[in-house]
Amino acid sequence: MTTLFDRYQLGRLTLPNRVVMAPMSRVRAAAGGLATSSMATYYAQRATAGLIVTEGVQPSVVGQSNPGTPGLHTDEQTASWRTVTDAVHINGGRIFAQIMHGGRVSHPDTTGHVPVGPSAVPAAGNVFTPSGPQPAPVPRALETAEVPEHAESYASAARRAVEAGFDGVELHGANGYLISQFLSSNANLRTDRYGGSVAGRIRFAVEAVTATVEAVGADRTGVRLSPGGGFWGVEETEVTEVYTALLTELARLGLAYVHLEATADEAVLSRLRHVWPGTLVMNPVLPMGPKQTGREDADRWLGLGADLISFGRGFIANPDLVERLRAGLPLAPVDEATYYQGGDAGYLTYPAYPYGA
């Protein structure tokens, strides 16, 4: 029987366990989207995870969603990440960069640019800006000829990620950001080849992933998806059909993994597991929902066919989460007020369990 602590071969990487640190925004980057020494310490503290996936990293200026997030589109940003990847590797870990284009979930006060999206339909709710939350603006609908350059931006960032020492990249295709917007039935009202039919709505995702595979290799490329998720006002019709078609196309590429969130019911997710022939990373509970992923959730999904299990909030307050799960030790509570406040408090200040004390 598969356990959470068995080894797993992920492409060229041998993972010592099946625990994945899920991507989580912590908005601790320096001015100019640079990674910092504190970020290096944060990820190195959690290097016992089988695999770390970083917070979302913008692939371009217009792709930035929130202030205080890091980038991978300048030489300075690329060089700054080397401290992070070196620290993780020295501590025995493996790390993928999550590449995240925010699309319409952005604001001119953050980037200096009007956000772009598949259609001129604003996200629901307020977005973060340097001066505080503001209503999401109406994005500029991308012209058909512009769409490929935004798909290519993921590949360009992936090249920089490998140059910076990352073991691979995960494209953020979930949670209402740009790829998710193209998959949507209410954010994507296009009538060209990137909209309308199921084949049209998945086209941008397939092109972005294909470009990344061509840039850095399939074994260095994963993608995160949230089937049926309603983040930032995104709605999706034909969820099973859309994601079955998407995974069928992606299966031809031989990706390192697909990372699914528990945003649809178990029957839909189980069907998608059967459609997807490769490695499946499963995030067993709704992101930012009332419950955190626990050992029972992990074991259940390993039994349902997942290969790796991602844990989000548990890793914030428990840098030694793998050992706590292995030993059945209590998990420290997280201080939600420090999620995005900046600084090292609530970032580097959570201790390991006092083993043997």
Q: Position 55: which residue type?
A: E
Contact 65, 127 (CB under 8 A): yes
Q: Are 238 and 202 in contact (CB under 8 A)?
A: no
The pLDDT, as a whole number, for residue 356 is 67
The pLDDT tens digits for 174-229 are 999 999 999 999 999 999 999 999 999 999 999 999 999 999 999 999 999 999 99
290: number of Cβ within 10 Å:
6
The number of angstroms, rounded, from the C-alpha of 52 to the middle of its chain's C-alpha atoms is: 11
Assess whether pLDDT exceeds 90 at residue 339: yes
User: Residue 118 corresponds to which amino acid?
Assistant: P
- Weakest mean pLDDT among 67-76, 144-153, 167-176, 334-343: 334-343
Going by C-alpha positions, the residue among 6, 97, 4 that lies closest to residue 284 is 4
Sequence-ordered list of residues with C-beta below 8 angstroms from that of 290, at least 6 positions apart, any chain: none
Using the CB atoms, write b or e for 295-309: b if 16+ within 10 Å: bebbbebbeeebbbb
Q: What are the DSSP calls for 160-219, one per residue? A: HHHHTT-SEEEEEE-TTSHHHHHH-SSS----STTSSSHHHHHHHHHHHHHHHHHHH-GG
Residue 230 pLDDT > 70: yes
Burial class (CB in 10 A: 0-12, 13-18, 19+), 247: buried
Asked if residue 291 has pLDDT above 80, the reply is: no
Q: What angle do CA 82, 85, 86 make, to 5 degrees?
A: 80
User: Could you give the C-alpha distances from 16 to 89, 173, 278, 322, in angstroms and in order?
Assistant: 13, 27, 19, 11
Two tokens at 186? 């209410």
| Structure confidence by residue, pLDDT tens digits, 6-45 | 999 999 999 999 999 999 999 999 999 999 999 999 999 9
Task: Say whether pLDDT at 1 is over 90.
Answer: no
CB 159, CB 215: distance < 8 Å? yes
Asked if residues 313 and 331 have their Cβ atoms less than 8 Å apart, the reply is no
Amino acid (one-letter) located at 213: V
Q: Which of 96, 103, 196, 101 is nearest to 141 (CA)?
A: 103
* Domain 8-338 architecture: Alpha-Beta Barrel (3.20)
Quick check: helix, strand or coil at residue 286? coil
Give the amino acid at 93: G
Each residue's pLDDT tens digit, 80-130? 999 999 999 999 999 999 999 999 999 999 999 999 999 999 999 999 999
Whether the predicted pLDDT of 288 surpasses 70: no
CA distance 103 to 81: 23
Q: Is the pLDDT of residue 286 over 80?
A: no
Q: Which residue has the tokens 């992606």?
A: 250
Q: φ, ψ for residue 185 (rounded to 5)?
A: -95, -10
| Radius of gyration of the chain, Cα coordinates, nearest whole angstrom | 19
| DSSP 8-state symbol, 133 | -
Per domain, the residue ranges of the chain are 8-338
Catalytic residues: 177
pTM (two decimals): 0.97
Give which of 8, 9, 11 is closest to 219, Cα–Cα. Answer: 11
Say what the pLDDT of residue 357 is.
Answer: 58
Q: pLDDT for 293-328, tens place per residue?
A: 888 999 999 999 999 999 999 999 999 999 999 999
Do residues 185 and 178 lie in contact, with contact meaning Cβ atoms separated by under 8 Å? no
Tell me the DSSP string of 43-57. HHHTTTSSEEEEEEE
Q: Encoding tokens for residue 261?
A: 């969130």
Pair 237, 185: CB distance under 8 Å: yes
Average of per-residue pLDDT values in the chain: 96
